[in-house]
Structure 1
Amino acid sequence: MSDTGHKEVHGFQTEVKQLLQLMIHSLYSNKEIFLRELVSNSADAADKLRFKALSNGDLYDGDANLRVRVKADKDANTITISDNGIGMTRDDVIAHLGTIAKSGTADFFSRLSGDQASDSQLIGQFGVGFYSAFIVADKVVVRTRAAGTEVSDGVEWTSAGEGDFSVENIEKSTRGTDIILFLKEEEKEFLDDYRLKSIVTKYSDHISIPVEMMSEEVAEVPASEGPDGEEIPAVAAIPAEWEGVNKAEALWTREKSDVSDDEYKEFYKHVSHDYGDPLLWAHNKVEGTTEYTSLLYVPEKAPFDMYNRERQHGLKLYVQRVFIMDDAEQFMPTYLRFVKGLLDSNDLPLNVSREILQDNKVTQAMRKGCTKRVITMLDKLGKKDAEKYQTFWDEFGQVLKEGPAEDMANKEAIAKLLRFASTENDNAVQNVSLNDYIERMKEGQDKIYYVVADSFEAAKNSPHLEVFRKKGIEVLLLSDRIDEWLMSHLTDFNEKQLASVTRGDLDLGDMDDAETKEAQEKIEKEFDSVVSRLKESLGDKVKDVRITHRLTDSPACIVTDDQDMSSQMMKLMQSVGQEVPESKPIFEINAEHDLVQHVSNEQDEAKFGQWAEVLFEQAMLAERGSLKDPASFVARLNTLMLSLTK
């Protein structure tokens, strides 16, 4: 039994204060969105009660007809949105209506640009639709009672959208929630029933819960005498009553041909709480061993916390059109965590739990089907509309790159979706597919070449590319943080090996003619003594020293042995606090470079040693971006430069 009348005043969370100021100053250019958000929240509350009532029918308390009601009161200047759903306790009210229950809200505010259209879409990603009430209202009152509690356990929340809100215990005869909006003077257009009905029809037609409004009251018409003296009987008054204004039919149960694009887009906003339109979607009914309906959406914009692999993700799960749970991650792999939508299964039990879903054969079949559906949808987009696919890739490409390591069964199909920058273009745009690359391969080329670096500029200017540019061989330029990890799992594609230009001994196979190979062997013999001197001078700093065939303009480079960890993988492990196994690089010198020729002729072994160190450290700097002892490198370089002036 609660203490009815007990009232407390609470301050809003800092982020909520900022958000309310944005709302109050009409951030949204489309103000009618407030009704869509509040009706959507009420429908979710009804869905949640229906699910809980599966195991506890007493929660219905004799009222199992779930609905949402919208009523305008012109005299009081209010709009009330009511539901008989799950309701809230006092603790729920304080937690949910005083706090944005999401991580990264500070990041959200740092992203605001001042552009109303883009900022309103950003807000949608944070699931804060309730606060949209303050777009049209200067005061909001919420009266609620949780299902299964006493009449005296009602709670009233009140706020004028400023620094605080009050919470008071009240008596509430019915379960569920009433949201009362006290409209601003300039927002009275929303008191018109026709206007409200048109908004509900536009945005909430697809909601499976009935949305009801009061019909127009018809006054009594007394009996009268017609123009010819005949008696016209009286017409009894028809009182106003609640009537449904939406179809109240689950959109995904309808035939695809009966659903318009606009309806699909509005339903996406309902299930995703995104304010923008989806990029594309797929609606499918699967029959056979496993029967289910899927409606899957790819957003146009990435959510703010997409790179947090621990964030909640997944699909809404329905069983025989009964809502079961949000964020059912069992049906979508982590690398597709940006996909929104729902599944409606005919084969799962109504009392299914997350634990049961984990190892359920039906779940595995549905996950496999949904994964392939998304991959196929993206593959078709890439072939049909390169510009639209580029929009997708720019937003979600780095997440999709997690796929080859996570999903071996679909590795080849995922690889077709990947896009890269390459030496074919002079910009950082990632728009080259592996199929594109293969189509442009040189005669005799049997490998797909790539380089991984810290930035596009570093990849583009890598000395390892020199021989490839000379021969006109395309190289993929990889500079995303995940790329080294990706390529450690994506070792081949379409029967072509993917080869790093910075690893192992370079062998261009049939692309090197006999004359070139003969010249290379000759240089190696001529510089055999120089290589020996360099090995002795550098000692255990290197695994090996050899003549390079990669360079045309640079004096030297370092190469990673095939069995060792690459420089980029070392950096990746170090950045997350992992120990890195010690490995020594291979040092390659360009025997035709003037500086190497100068060093080879140096007879003073001490000075030769200094030159060897400088050449090696220059190569390390170019490859890894840093040195363990940069001060010593600078001192050696200065000494050698001064000696050249004497």
Structure 2
Amino acid sequence: MSDERFLVDLRGLVDILSHHLYSSPRVYLRELIQNARDAVVARHEIDPDSPEQISITVDEASGAVIVRDQGIGLTEQEMRDVLATIGASSKREDFARTRRKYLGQFGIGLLSCFLIADRIEVRSRSARTADAATISWVGSADGTFAISPATEPLAEPGTEVRVKARPDEWEWTQPHRVRLLAERFAGLLELPVALHRGPVLPAEIVSQRTQPWRGSAQEMEDWAHQELGFRPLAILPVAVPGAGVRGLAFIADSPGQVGTRRGDTVYSKGMFVTDSSVQLVPSWAYFVRLVVEAGDLPLTASREALQDSFTIDAVKEQVGIQVRQGIERFAENDPAGFSRFLDVHAKGLMAMAVSDDDMLDLVSQSVKWETNEGYQTLAQMRRRAEVVLYTTSMTDFTAFAPILAARGTPLVNASYVYGREILRRLVERPLRGARLRAFDAGRFIDELQRPLAGDTAAQLLEEQARPVLQQLGVALDLREFSPVTVPVLFVGASGDAEFNAAGDDQADGDDAWGALLSDLVTAAESSASHGPRLVVNVGSTSVRAFGTIKDRYVREEAIAGLYVIGRLTAGERLQPQDAVLLNRALQALMTAAGDAETE
């Protein structure tokens, strides 16, 4: 036996492995299990009756871990070929190419053991010939390796790797740590992986766990709770058969951070790859956590991530489509559950819809908005009405919702976060159903009916109210509209409103739209600004009652009270003088009522 040198400095290669290829020393065990699994599969291809078990033995006294398989094994020349190829280059792509070529035959993964050890001992017997000798390979961190016939031959074909940790890396070979790592990496492997943690404890099978996507609904939920830390609001199946991808999408029960995905759990041929992948789900689905079998998707050289490729982009697109369709089915089949989903994620969905067309469609179809006809989706409203109005002002919504409801015109409250941006985007999209238009309060009031000529009650009201309101710096505007329960509307000094000229141009002379236009709202340019004005509904029963008030002082105070009510309805912040006016009006009315009772 003679010592032979690697073609590069092994210390330098190990530095590359630790700093540029592998994320943590813990990967040594995954690589050993992976190589054993690949070797077993390779042997099974030439001998379907070959044994399939992998064993892991922990020698706590010496700090060593031994991984054994009864797989394809290696010849002396194969050992040299693998190491020579690895030593020839430190480039990441060369690592990947070597790994693919020697899959199941030792592989670069063996060198990951140098992350925790200074010496690796291997015994291997090839299964390709009946009388193959057992070959010993011993590699050292000083840059040498030795190949020789083994002094203790293996009874069956296969490979045994022994790794003894350095004192500063002892933790990685402790029994409890090895058990956790073995369960993590090999838990879903379909072949048995037996863990031996000493002469007293019985061997434990750490693999062959039920794959989440093959379990019952309760098992799926339990997996998410144990592995992801939450009880999912819904579980959606995903599958891309052409790429061999299969798994589950769990909808998180907490909002998370919009636009930031916490990462998905990926397995490849049953071996754990990563729990931080962001390659398989579109960014808009931030509320989804995926667990998948990656099937035929290739891994990087480190086997800790998926390679970027056109295939993975196609899989990502399909997953996005299936998530969206799954949410639509969720909304249809489980309204109560979907309501909980919206309670948690509505704001996030809206945020993503501002820039993502797929999410915009989902929001339009699924998210319920506050309207003057109750909570409805935009899609529902656009199917039912000829025109749907929206306002980004909470005060306008509060004030005008009942008036538009009385006319049968839907009004959407878009004053919430992202409402303005989303509705503007939807206005620009040629979707089926009603036209979506911005509501202009000033223009709407200008179109309201004025009192009929000869309405003495209206004339009297104008004579009595105008001087009072002029003292308050407010113009009087008499109109008549339904419902009669709305006595006044207050319009502030700003008459700005949102319009979409391109959208209005789409009317193309439509008679129905033209009729609505005269009765409602929109135009291709902004309405003129007005000073503060109080729009008084002369059709209101409470307003018409002013004609019965004989005391001029009481009438003036009541008018001032209506002005304050109008400001309150419009959401205006009351000033100290407003509170004085309201208090005086209330006092005057109560005094008048008391005087009337004593007469």
Question: Could you say what secondary structure the match of 2:570 adopts?
Answer: helix
- 1:379 — aligned with what? 328
Question: Which residue of the partner structure matches residue 286 of structure 2?
Answer: 337
Contact 1:83 1:177 in 2 (8 A): no
Q: Secondary structure at the match of 1:406?
A: coil
| Root-mean-square deviation over aligned CA pairs | 6.2
Letter in 1 for 2:470: S
> Are 1:350 and 2:300 an aligned pair?
yes
The normalised TM-score by structure 1 is 0.48
1:631 aligned residue: 576
Q: Match of 1:65, SS?
A: helix
Report the CA distance shift for 1:630/1:297 in structure 2 as closer, same or farther (over 3 A).
same
- 1:520 alignment counterpart: 449
8 A Cα contact 1:205 1:248, kept in partner: yes
Change in 2 beyond 3 A, CA 1:382/1:615? same
Distance 2:550 2:222 in 1: 79
One-letter amino acid of the structure 2 residue matched with residue 464 of structure 1: F
- Residue of 359, 362, 368 corresponding to 2:317: 368
Structure 1 residue matching 2:21: 3-state secondary structure: coil
User: Do the aligned partners of 1:404 and 1:411 also contact (CA within 8 Å) in 2?
Assistant: yes
The whole-number CA distance in structure 2 between the counterparts of 1:83 and 1:340 is 35
Question: Do residues 176 (structure 1) and 172 (structure 2) align?
Answer: yes
Q: Which runs of 5+ in 1 are unaligned?
A: 1-50, 73-81, 85-145, 152-169, 182-195, 218-238, 508-516, 566-581
Gaps of 5+ in 2: 1-16, 35-53, 59-64, 68-112, 119-165, 500-528, 593-599
Corresponding residue for residue 163 of structure 1: none
Distance 2:217 2:396 in 1: 43
SS at match of 2:343: helix
String of CA shifts for 1:560-608, please: whole Å, max 9, x gaps. 856359xxxxxxxxxxxxxxxx998775331223555577999999999
Q: Does residue 293 of the first structure (1) align with residue 245 of the second (2)?
A: yes
Using structure 2 for the length normalisation, give the TM-score: 0.51
- Pairing 1:55–2:21 present: yes
Structure 1 residues 356 and 381, CA gap change in structure 2 (3 angstroms): closer
Q: Is the 8 A contact 1:450 1:477 kept in 2?
A: yes
Provide the rounded CA distance (Å) in 1 between the counterparts of 2:340 and 2:191: 35
Tell me the distance in 2 between the aligned counterparts of 1:354 and 1:612: 75
Give yes or no for contact 1:453–1:479 (8 Å, CA) kept in 2: yes
Q: Distance in 2 between matches of 1:500 and 1:65?
A: 64
Structure 2 residue aligned with 1:268: 224
| Equivalent position of 2:470 in the other structure | 537
Q: Is residue 464–residue 551 contact of structure 1 (8 Å, CA) maintained in 2?
A: no
Does structure 1 residue 213 correspond to structure 2 residue 177? no
Is the 8 Å Cα contact of residues 348 and 362 (structure 1) preserved in structure 2?
A: no
Cα deviation per residue 1:547-567 (whole Å; 9 max; x = unaligned)?
Answer: 3646421222246856359xx
Aligned pairs (5 A) from 1:317-332:
326-329=275-278, 331-332=280-281
Query: Residue 375 of structure 1: CA displacement?
Result: 0.9
Instruction: Pick closer, same or farther for the CA change 1:438–1:245 going to 2, 3 Å.
Output: same
Instruction: From the superposition, tell whether residues 58 and 503 of structure 1 become closer, same or farther in structure 2 (CA, over 3 Å).
Output: closer
Give the conservation status (yes or no) of the 8 Å contact 2:478–2:535.
yes
Matched, 1:467 2:391: no
Paired with 1:437 and 1:285, the residues of 2 have a C-alpha distance of 35
Q: 1:63 to 1:500 in 2, by over 3 A?
A: closer
TM-superposed deviation, 1:388: 3.6
Measure the CA separation in 1 of the matches of 2:389 and 2:170.
Answer: 68
Q: CA deviation at 1:546?
A: 6.8
**Contact 1:298 1:340 survives alignment (8 Å):** yes
Tell me the CA shift for residue 390 of structure 1.
3.1
**Structure 1 pair 500–434 and aligned structure 2 pair: CA distance change class (3 A):** same
Question: Cα 1:525–1:419, aligned 2, differ >3 Å: closer, same or farther?
Answer: farther
Matches within 5 A, 1:376-525: 376-420=325-369, 432-437=376-381, 441=384, 445-448=385-388, 462-470=398-406, 483=419, 486-491=422-427, 494-498=432-436, 503=441, 505-506=443-444, 520=449, 523=452
Letter of the aligned partner of 1:497 in structure 2?
R
Matched, 1:591 2:538: yes
How far 1:302 moved relative to its partner? 1.7
Q: Is the 8 A contact 1:404 1:415 kept in 2?
A: no
